[in-house]
């Protein structure tokens, strides 16, 4: 069966240099789906994403996968679960988290998704708010789901020995320091690069802006180094200002501690997803 027989394209919901994503309707179920149209056919990134989505058993914190099609022009169309908003839009909108409890729910679900990937031998390598989907209902917040596995990589190096991989992955504002200082070809790193990104995301939930907004890799590293000089005090100040100016909830001392552990400069000292889920911040009233 070809794609046109199963789905009706409705509108474009996002576009980029390598493709665009449609909202479509499944004729069999009447439900909306997202169809990612890859312009360049079976690229290494596309093949990797399809293989990962096919191999992973379903998980509440991972976007659902429905299959893929190849059209007559050799374009690849990947069919996935449709969710209207990503975390980036959610943070900037009026419906963003008003309480610590809401923030804890989304952080726990993100960490559960990251733990699931790491336990299955996968590094995402491009975690950021726009790659986390937020499904909502008339009753409010529902579920966070990690998406976009084009830069993901299988690894047997869950431990701190690491493996040799390209540092040319990720998005600048969310890249771990070891990716910023890596060689042009390959560098040793492991799943800790994802935990740094999670720390940046958690901070952004509360300050409603990217924590490190470098103009280049060198500038990004300078901004990281500057924060590291007094990270606890700097984070607490940023959260306090966001509370006063933007009405964001303050994560409290334990929340600051968790972000600090996620943003440990040296990857060997960075908290794992499992340890983060066990952090006392999640049990604090």
- Active-site residue 126, yes or no? yes
Kind and range of the H or E element at 29? none
- Distances in whole angstroms, Cα of residue 258 to Cα of each of 140, 170, 191: 26, 22, 17
Q: Which of 86, 126, 148, 194 is catalytic?
A: 126
Contact yes or no for 124/151 (Cβ under 8 A): yes
CA distance 71 to 272: 41
75 φ, ψ to 5°? -80, 145
The first and second tokens of residue 247, run together, are 């009405």
- Distances in whole angstroms, Cα of residue 66 to Cα of each of 42, 84, 135, 220, 258: 17, 17, 17, 38, 35
The first and second tokens of residue 213, run together, are 């907004």
**In sequence order, which ranges of 120-182 are alpha helices (DSSP H)?**
177-180
Contact yes or no for 198/114 (Cβ under 8 A): yes
Kind and range of the H or E element at 122? strand 122-123
Quick one: angle between helices 192-207 and 100-119, nearest 10? 170
Q: What is the DSSP letter of 62?
A: B
- Distances in whole angstroms, Cα of residue 254 to Cα of each of 93, 203, 259, 275: 26, 13, 9, 14
CA distance 263 to 200: 8
- The residues that are catalytic are 126
């Amino acid at each position: 069966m070809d794609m046109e027989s199963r789905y009706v394209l409705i509108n474009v919901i996002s576009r980029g240099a390598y493709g665009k994503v449609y909202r479509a309707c499944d004729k069999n179920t009447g439900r909306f789906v997202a169809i990612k149209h890859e312009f360049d056919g079976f690229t290494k990134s596309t093949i990797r994403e399809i293989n990962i989505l096919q191999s992973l058993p379903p998980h509440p914190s991972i976007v659902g996968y429905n299959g893929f099609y190849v059209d007559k022009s050799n374009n690849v169309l990947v069919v996935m679960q449709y969710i209207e908003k990503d975390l980036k839009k959610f943070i900037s909108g009026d419906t963003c988290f008003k309480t610590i409890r809401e923030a804890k729910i989304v952080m726990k679900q993100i960490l559960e998704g990251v733990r699931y990937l790491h336990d299955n031998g996968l590094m995402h390598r491009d975690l950021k708010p726009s790659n986390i989907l937020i499904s909502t209902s008339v009753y409010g917040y529902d579920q966070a789901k990690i998406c976009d596995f084009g830069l993901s990589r299988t690894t047997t190096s869950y431990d701190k020995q690491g493996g040799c991989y390209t540092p040319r992955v990720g998005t600048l504002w969310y890249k771990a320091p070891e990716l910023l200082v890596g060689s042009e070809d390959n560098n040793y790193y492991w799943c800790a690069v994802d935990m740094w990104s999670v720390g940046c995301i958690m901070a952004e939930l509360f300050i409603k802006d990217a924590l490190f907004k470098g103009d280049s890799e060198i500038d990004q590293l300078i901004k990281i180094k500057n924060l590291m000089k007094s990270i606890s005090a700097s984070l607490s100040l940023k959260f306090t200002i966001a509370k006063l100016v933007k009405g964001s909830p303050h994560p409290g001392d334990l929340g600051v501690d968790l972000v600090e552990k996620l943003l440990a400069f040296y990857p060997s000292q960075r908290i794992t997803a499992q340890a983060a889920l066990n952090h006392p911040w999640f049990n604090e009233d």
